[in-house]
Each structure stands twice: as C-alpha cells, then as structure tokens.
Amino acid sequence: MVEKSLMNNYVEGDTGPWEVVIGLEVHAQVTSQSKLFSGAATAFGAEPNSQVSLVDAGMPGMLPVINEVAVEQAVRSGLGLNAKINTYSVFDRKNYFYADLPQGYQISQYLQPIVGEGVITVDLEDGRSRDIGIERLHLEQDAGKSIHDRHPTKTYVDLNRSGVALMEIVSKPDMRTAEEAGAYVRKVRTILRYLGTCDGNMEEGSMRADVNVSVRRPGEALGTRAEIKNVNSVRFMQQAIAYETGRQIDILEAGGSIDQETRLFDAQSGTTRPMRSKEEAHDYRYFPDPDLLPLEFSDAFIERIRRTLPELPDAKKQRYMDAMGLSVHDAQVLVSEREIAAFFEQVAQGRDPKIAANWVQGEFFAQLSKAERDIADSPVSADQLGGLIDLIADSTISGKIAKDVLVSMFESGQDAAAIVAEKGLKQVSDSGVIEAEIDKVIAVNPDKVAEFQGGKDKVLGWFVGQIMQATKGKANPQMVNQLLRGKLKA
Amino acid sequence: MAELTELGISEARDLLAKGALSSRELTESHISAMAESSALNAMVTETPEIALAMADASDERRAKGGSGALEGIPLAIKDLFCTKGVLTTAGSHILDGFRPPYESTVTANLWQAGAVMLGKTNMDEFAMGSSNETSYYGAVQNPWRRHGDNRALVPGGSSGGSATAVSGRFAMGATATDTGGSIRQPASFTGTVGCKPTYGRCSRWGVVAFASSLDQAGPITRSVRDNAIMLGAMAGYDPKDATSANVALPDFEAALTGDARGLKIGVPKEYVLDGMPGEIEALWQRGIGWLRAAGAEIIDISLPHTKYALPTYYIVAPAEASSNLARYDGVRFGLRMPGDDLTEMYENTRAAGFGPEVRRRVLIGTYVLSAGYYDAYYLKAQKVRRLIAQDFRDVFASVDAILTPSTPSAAFAFGDKADDPIAMYLNDVFTVPANLAGLPGISLPAGLSDDGLPLGLQVLAPAFDEETMFRVAGLLEEAAAFNEAPTQWWRSR
C-alpha cells in the first residue's frame, strides 16, 4: 500500500518512503498552415487522407523541404521557455517500420536539436512556485494514424497527420508529484498559447505528453523509468502517474525490478500496460537526413523573433502585482490565458485595476460560465464591462444593481447605460427623496427606532433594507446610511 | 533513314533549325532502331506513341517559331526518373505497376527544352550494380564485343541501359544517374560520354533515391558537345530539393573553347593501381600527352585518402539506401505479398520484391547504422569522407582539373564478377571519390583496348566548375579522335 506524505512529497511504502521522479515529453503541434516538410494543409477534422502531399505519402523520389514558419515557431517557443537557441541544428532520420509511417522513418532531431536547455516556473495550488528545467526542444514530423476498429481483419490508415510539425519539449526529471507534472503541462501550454506557437488543444491531439516515471529511495540514484504514452489530458496524466508509482513501488518492495519499457495508458481502467513494440528490436538507427542540409540561421534571425514576443505570463503576473496591486491569486488567474489577460487589461484601462479584476473574475466569469461561452465569444465585451464599472464609479448605479445590469447585458448584448436608462435603474441620490422615505419608515416603526436607540446597531441594516425596498434598490446606499444614522440618533 | 541515328544532338539541332529535318523523321528513325534493338534489352518500357506525339508537338512549336535547347531531340530516360503516367520501375520487382502521378524535375526540364521521350532504360536494381546484372528485367548487353569473340559483355552499371541506348544508336542521348560511377563507368564501357555534374547541380526531385548524399543525375551522349548541351537542359536550381544548389547555370557549350593555354592538369599518383592492365596505364599516358601537346601544364598531385574512398562509399551508400528503401513496404504502391500480419506482409513483400544485391546493401546499411556499430562504421566513414573532400580542395588550389582513367578495365563478360561483390565494387575505384566529394566528373572514350573495346578517360573538376571539365574533355576528345562504333550485330529487321 502506498500513502502520500504531505511534508516532503515522499510516498510511504510498506518498507519506507519513496521519492517519485517525473520527466515529461510534451508533443506540441506547431501552429502553421502547412506541414513540417511539405505544403500540405494541417486543419483538424478533415476527410481522411485529404491533406496528404506526395512527400507525406512517402512516394518514390519525393523530398522534404523545411517549412520556415515551423522553424520560426520553434525558435519563438524556445525563447518563451527561456531556453538556449541553437543556430546550428540537424535533422535526423529515426528509422522504424509501421503502416502509418510512409517513409519508413520519422524526420526528427536527435543529437543537435534547435533548442537547448531552459527553465520555466510553475505555480502550485498552495501558492508555492517551482522551477522546472527544460532539457531541449526539437522539431519532428508526426506519423499518420492507424485505425484498427473499422474492419475485422484490416487496418485503415489516415495520413492527414503524416508530416505535421511537432515540437517535442523534453523536461528535466525535475518533478516529484502528479500535481507538479500537471502544473508543468499547464504552464507549457499557457506559454505556447501566449506565443501563438501551439493551440494547446489536447482533445484534438495538438498537445500530448509522454510521461517518464521512476521511483527511488530518497537521496539515492535515479531508478529505472517507464515511459507512458497515450496520455492526452492532464487528468489522465495524473492518474497514470499515480498508477505507475504504485505499480513500481509494489514491484520493488516485493523484491522485483523495473523494466525500462514503454507503457500505454488505458483511460478506461486508469492503468498502464506494456506497449506492443513497433519493431521487434528497438534500434531506430538514427542518422542525419541526407535530404536536408543542417538547419542554420543567424543571431539576427533570433533577435528579430525575440522583438515580436508578447509579454509572457510570468512577467504579466509580476506587473499585475507590482503596478496594479493585485493579489498573487488574482494575478495568477488573470494571466492563465492570454485572452483573459487581454480582456482584463482592456477593462482595467483607465479604471481601478482591483475593481476591474474583481468584476472580471467574479460576476463576469460567473455569467460567462452560465452562458457556456468562452472569453473569445463573450456576449459582453471588455469595453461594455468597463462601461458598467464606470456607472458604479460615478454613482449612477449601485454595485448591487450593477450585478443585475450585467445579467441583462449577457441576455441582450446591450450597453449598461442603455439598460439603466431603459429600466429606470438610475440611483436615487436626491436627499429630499431619500429623507422622505426614511421619515415614512421611522413613522411606522417606532419599536425598531427604540431598539436602535437602545444600542442595537444591527437594526440599522433592517432600516437600510426597508429603504432600498421602497426605492426598488435605487437609493444611493451611502446616502441612505448617512441620512438614516442622522435621523435615528435625533 | 538509318543514318539519322548516326547524328549527334548538335548536328541534328542544326538540321532541325534549318528545316532540313523534322523531329517526327528523327524520332521515327530512333523508334525503329529501338524496336530492332530489343536483343540488347536496354529498354524496360518503350513509349513510341508518346515519342511521336511529342515529336509532332515539337515540330508544331518550331513552325510557330519557338524552340528549346533540345527541340525535337529524341532521348531515352533511365527508369529511375519518375515519369508521369509512365511505368517507373527502378529496375526492381517491388515497383511493379508503379505509374507516378508526377514528373521528375530533370525530365520536366528536358521536355520544357523540347526533348522527346523514347522510353525508359533498363538499369541495375535501384541503381545498385556495376554490370546491369541486378535488374529484375534482365541484364542489358553491351553493344560492343571483343575482336573475334562472340561472348556477350556487360555494359557497366547502373546506367547500362542508357549507355547502351546511346552507344547502340537508338537514342541521341539518355538521362542517367551516378551514385558511385553509375554514369561514367557504363559510358566508359560503351564508348560514350557520360558526365556526373556537381552534387546539387541537377534536382533529385522525382528521382528514385539510392543514396541521397551521393546521387546525381547527368547525361550520356556520344560527344562532349552533346553532353554539354544536354546537361544545360537538365540542370538548374529546384526549390523542391533542399540539396539543390541555387547557383547560376552557365552556358556549358560555350565552355568548349578548344583552348588549353593556361590549364593546369593534375595527375594523382594514387590512381596507379597494382595489377592495373597496361593498356589502361598506356591510355592515361596518351591522355597526358595530348593535353601537354595542346599546351596544358601537367602537375603530379597526391590525393592521399583515395585508398579509403571505396570502403567509405560502401558504408555511406548502403546506410542511406537502407533507410531510403524502407518506403517500399507494400502498403501504398508497387508489389504487395500478403501475410498474416503487418510484419509478415513486410517480410514477404520485401523478400520477393528486392533482388540479392539490394538485400545485401540494405543489410549492410542496417548493420552500419545499428547501435554499437554506428560510431565505428557510419561516423568513421563520414569523417573519412570529409578528408577525401579536403584532399580535392587542397589540390584544386593548384590545378584546374584532374585526369584519371575512368575504370580499371574494359567491359567484362557476364558472370565474370557477379559472384564476387568485392571484385565488382572495385569497378568504381576511380569514380567513387568524386561522388564522396560532390565533384563533377566526365568520362569520354579515348581509345580501344587490345581486344577492341572502348576505354574511357575521366576528367574531374572543382565543384560547380563543369565549364573547365567540359573544356578539358573537349580537348581530349579532339586529340583522341575516337570514331569507333560497335557493329550493329544485334539489329533485327
């Protein structure tokens, strides 16, 4: 049995504590109109074998030509991962036979990748953050897809994905818990989405992860790892790590040893099992692809790309905290997606950033989620939300009324001011009107007045409620408070 | 019309330009000669209908005033070049029925220049061979025979069909490819001119790959001038081939100045082999004498890593081939032999589809790339390859071109070397270094052996200096005055 110790992240086995060591290989599809070495399109969900060039189909005499956009995207991603960019890198062939690998080899980068070591900071639930090392990022082609379940004896092959550009981002074995692994994948995804180099869509397969898991006694050398493939969501990844950790500890505690092998995650059962090997002997016979020259570019090329980088989430978060005075939590939530940050910044433009942050994260998100919409297709624009906040700021409406106005805005798409005017929601700040209402309430509730004067301050709230009810919530709450106190004390 | 097949490309070009000859006449004469030459087995596929249609189209273009560099000239195409809608076999069973839906860049360039396609020439399977004996479609016979000896001789390989079609006077020129000597060695064996240009000069797009870092297309013709004309039409930068060189394409024909003044010709001592026939050595000396007499300066040079070229080649080429040939798996095109599962289908298809020489090289290549052997073989070979290239760069600092024999012997008889791969591989000893270094080289006929077979001399030049290569070859051609032709014993009428 394994149990998790909260203090040091060790897992308690029957014979003592174990440390889990996790490394991740994230495969991120490069956002690009065309494939890595051919002009074929890359749209998701197209008819099978409709996006296949002669190169992708491995026809005789066909040659790969590098897609420069993919190179730029890889460099951009490397910069976003704070990594070393290699101005000289080499494409290699990884040789193996499979029906969905038309050339009989995958073009990848083996010894000399385009991006070297880097580091990213991941944020954990308890507010801590950790640095996770990046080992490398390299460009490679995707294979096609084999479909085994359409025919009792035959396999169908769809080559639409064959040749699609992937970035394989390899982490250092720096993670110790499933939570850290999840936070790492989310952070990589966020960074790539900020950069526009990968859409990070795990459902459509444009981001997948292979998970390397091993266990060891604290302080000892790294154990033998198993590589788990076919993990296509953060939740599955965390399940796979939990299962694999338990499996390995059980084997080791029973006196066995771990095989270095590739295992497949089964989402149905939440378990992993050894993968049938693609070739009997696993020797990929890597060698430099003689159809392609080494990939070389200048420092100026890198600098040109660097100048187009957006503000990345870490810098943004820091700025939200330092310049806008937001809390860590608020800043973290707002930078989690580039679109959210952009929306927030638009709302905060010329307004109190804290109030903007509260509205975006609070009522706005609640209404968005109720409407089952994304921020990208929100029925209420950032400017509209800003307009609503302005009405509170200039005392046209109260914050309470504003919440109702936002609901109407989501329903009708109208501006806040129009709704306020149409429904006559403008706040009443005429002291004569408010005083008249107060006098009426005091007149009919002498017992409550006595309670207040006898020291029961809480009764004030009851009076406020009565006034608000009488004014249909439109009375300026501060004025109500102020005037009530004056009248009640008298 | 038989005499039309004796015309060279440049002569026919002039007659066509004057209106003294139509492409249709010229093409018909070659179609007939090709049909009557089936005994040589030089063609895998003859395309007379296509040829006539192209010839007529050419005559029409000319009538309207348009004409390309090879307007109306009938050519044969090595069956390694993909030709749209026309069976392309690479001499292999595994490409059974393969009709590419695309045209190779080199052949497309030729058709753009007005050339006419006669058909596809036989070749060693996947261009692996030096005698044309490895073709699935049977061996090609050399049009030449020894004096007083009726034994059939090999035409050399792998472009044996192309060399034979040109030597046998049923194509005015032919495309070929050269990975280790596959243009120059058969040219030497058949008394024709064969040039392998600089690596990157001709696009490899649409040419079935053998060893990608060595493969280079080039022409086989009957004269140096024809060769220069044809190369000019084949070559040029192609953005579809990442290894194609984006360099200016000179007028190669204009390089044939006939002027030897100021030329420095290197003669490498390492090309003198133990046991090399005396007639080869004598031919080489004659070549040296001709160039010196024409006014060139002869300089003894050393290319110290020459002796490692052949073993290096037989690591690099099979390594690349083992990977390049992985796509012949029975899944998408060509031969498929069923099996109970995917692996068995692969095994059955590849065992039936590849001949013994291809299987041998795939095995060698797989071995030298395998974990534990990669460093000792492939990586070491790459290092030696760089040294060989450096040897040439060093000597080209002081010479303009290098003169060597093309092959260590004249054409040999069938079966002579088929059972001994090493003896067979030695055929390429003089040609392989240029492939490893990416340099241009040309073989031209310079005399006959004692028993009446053609012998070739080879000129090597610096990268992208085919002009000097052609200039020197032109001088040798003029001095050698080689006018021999095989008697057309094979013609059936």
Separation between Cα atoms, residue A388 and residue A130, nearest integer Å: 39
Residues A325, A354: contact at Cβ < 8 Å? yes
Burial tier of B135 (Cβ tally within 10 Å: 0-12, 13-18, 19+)? buried
Cα distance from A35 to chain B (closest Cα, Å)? 14
Instruction: Decide: helix, strand or coil at residue B20.
Output: coil
Residues of B with CB under 8 A from a CB of A: 81-82, 88, 90, 95, 98, 100-102, 104, 204-209, 211-213, 239-243, 319-320, 322-323, 325-327, 329, 331-333, 342-343, 346, 366, 369-371, 374, 378
Separation between Cα atoms, residue A50 and residue A160, nearest integer Å: 7
State the virtual CA torsion across B198, B201, B202, B207 in degrees, nearest 10. Answer: 60
- What's the pTM? 0.91
Instruction: Decide: helix, strand or coil at residue B194.
Output: strand
- Tell me the per-residue pLDDT of B350-388, one tens digit each, with 9 for 90 and over: 999 999 999 999 999 999 999 999 999 999 999 999 999
Using CB atoms, pick whichever of B242, B332, B371 lies closest to residue A58.
B332
Residues B58, B191: contact at Cβ < 8 Å? no
Separation between Cα atoms, residue B10 and residue B140, nearest integer Å: 27
- Inform me whether the C-beta atom of residue A342 falls under 8 Å from chain B C-beta atoms: no
State the virtual CA torsion across B28, B31, B35, B41 in degrees, nearest 10. Answer: 160
Q: Is the ipTM of this complex over 0.90?
A: yes
**pLDDT tops 80 at residue B208:** yes
Largest CA distance in chain B: 70
- Tell me the per-residue pLDDT of B254-286, one tens digit each, with 9 for 90 and over: 999 999 999 999 999 999 988 889 999 999 999
**pLDDT tops 70 at residue B1:** no
Q: Given CA atoms A300, A301, A306, A307 in this order, what sign does their dihedral have?
A: positive
- Inform me whether the C-beta atom of residue A324 falls under 8 Å from chain B C-beta atoms: no
- Inform me whether the C-beta atom of residue A105 falls under 8 Å from chain B C-beta atoms: yes
Residue B53 phi/psi, 5-degree rounding, is -65, -40
What residues of A are in contact with residue B319 (Cβ under 8 Å)? 287
Question: Average pLDDT per run of 10 along chain A, which is 490 residues long?
Answer: 57 92 96 92 89 96 97 98 98 96 97 97 88 98 92 92 96 96 96 96 90 95 91 92 95 92 91 71 89 97 97 96 94 93 95 95 94 91 95 87 92 91 82 85 86 84 86 84 81
- Inform me whether the C-beta atom of residue A97 falls under 8 Å from chain B C-beta atoms: yes
Instruction: Decide: helix, strand or coil at residue A74.
Output: helix
Separation between Cα atoms, residue B206 and residue B103, nearest integer Å: 6
Catalytic positions of B, please? Answer: 78, 158, 182
Separation between Cα atoms, residue A371 and residue A380, nearest integer Å: 11
State whether A60 and B213 contact (CB < 8 Å). no
Separation between Cα atoms, residue B52 and residue B57, nearest integer Å: 8
Using CB atoms, pick whichever of B81, B208, B369 lies closest to residue A287.
B369
Amino acid at B64: K
What residues of B are in contact with residue A61 (Cβ under 8 Å)? 81-82, 100, 104, 204-209
Separation between Cα atoms, residue A343 and residue A334, nearest integer Å: 9
Q: Which long-range contacts (CB under 8 A, 24 or more apart) does B234-240 make?
A: B234/B106, B234/B109, B234/B110, B234/B175, B234/B202, B235/B109, B235/B197, B235/B201, B235/B202, B236/B109, B236/B202, B236/B203, B237/B203, B238/B105, B238/B203, B238/B205, B239/A65, B240/A63, B240/A65, B240/B105, B240/B203, B240/B205
Residue A294 phi/psi, 5-degree rounding, is -55, 145
- In the block, which residue shows the tokens 């080992």? A135
CATH level 3 topology of B4-262+398-492: Amidase signature (AS) enzymes (3.90.1300)
Number of H helices and number of E strands within chain B?
15, 11
Chain B interface disruption, residue of A36, A111, A287, A292, most B CBs within 10 A: A287
Name all domains of chain A by residue range, CATH numbers in brackets. 5-302 (no CATH), 313-423 (no CATH), 431-489 (1.10.10.410)
Separation between Cα atoms, residue A361 and residue A105, nearest integer Å: 49
Residues A114, A86: contact at Cβ < 8 Å? yes
State whether A290 and B98 contact (CB < 8 Å). no
Q: What is the pLDDT of residue B146?
A: 95
Structure tokens at A14: 């029957």
Angle subtended at Cα A471 by Cα A467 and Cα A472, rounded to the nearest 5 degrees: 110
Instruction: Decide: helix, strand or coil at residue A424.
Output: coil
Instruction: Decide: helix, strand or coil at residue B362.
Output: helix
- Tell me the per-residue pLDDT of B398-441, one tens digit each, with 9 for 90 and over: 999 999 999 999 999 998 877 787 778 888 999 999 999 999 99
- Inform me whether the C-beta atom of residue A53 falls under 8 Å from chain B C-beta atoms: no
Give which of B156, B153, B164, B159 is closest to B131, Cα–Cα: B156
Cα distance from B373 to chain A (closest Cα, Å)? 10
In chain A, helix, strand, coil percent, each to 5?
40, 20, 40
Q: What is the pLDDT of residue B459?
A: 98
